[in-house]
Amino acid sequence: MNRIRAVSLLLVLSLLVVTPVAALHARYLDIVIDRDGDATITFEYTLPWVEKVLAFLGAVNPERDLGQILAATTGGRVERLPSVEGAASFSVGRFANITATPGLTIYDTHALDLGWGQAGYESSVLAPLLEPDFSPEVTVIRFPDAYSLTYRNLLQIPNVTHAF
């Protein structure tokens, strides 16, 4: 009887090791652009318990990954802001390029390819165990004149041009 239990336990454990588990799931991306073209970007996500352990051990780091994506995409200053568990907030310099004409200001934002973060997970040693989803359920881009755009489930957030 003990032998049957041991074999059953080994089978269950091998299924857990071989079967990928849900990993990071992006819930919300909020991009608030100020008058100078700088932005405050907040990325909300959930982590299953397995990945929380891996994050604690330093094997995965969603905040670092998003910071690297922002720095590579914008070429501007990226500063990590205080945030709560399950969220990462950043101040990003020059997120939108501004062109001023008489009576009109044009904001042109950078595109964001969140696939870089997902690719970082897929290239790790833990890739067979994780299935991250970096595409936010909802992405909102807010401009200084209160105009906003909303996207759903996009891994690549397009650049936006807005004039007011």
Q: pLDDT of 143-152, one tens digit each?
A: 999 999 999 9
Let me know: does 38 contact 145? Beta carbons within 8 Å. no
132 vs 96, higher pLDDT: 96
Asked if pLDDT for residue 158 goes beyond 60, the answer is: yes
Band (pLDDT 50/70/90 cuts) for residue 100 is very high
pLDDT of residue 60: 63
Greatest mean pLDDT range, 50-54, 89-93, 113-117 = 89-93
Q: Which residues contact 132 (CB under 8 A, 6 or more apart)?
A: 23, 24, 25, 117, 118, 121, 122
Q: What is the pLDDT of residues 18-45, one digit of tens each?
A: 444 556 788 999 999 999 999 999 999 8
Band (pLDDT 50/70/90 cuts) for residue 138 is very high
Distance CA 57, CA 54 (A): 5
The ranges assigned to domains in the chain are: 20-163
Phi, psi of 63 (to 5 degrees): -65, -45
Band (pLDDT 50/70/90 cuts) for residue 47 is confident
pLDDT of residue 115: 81
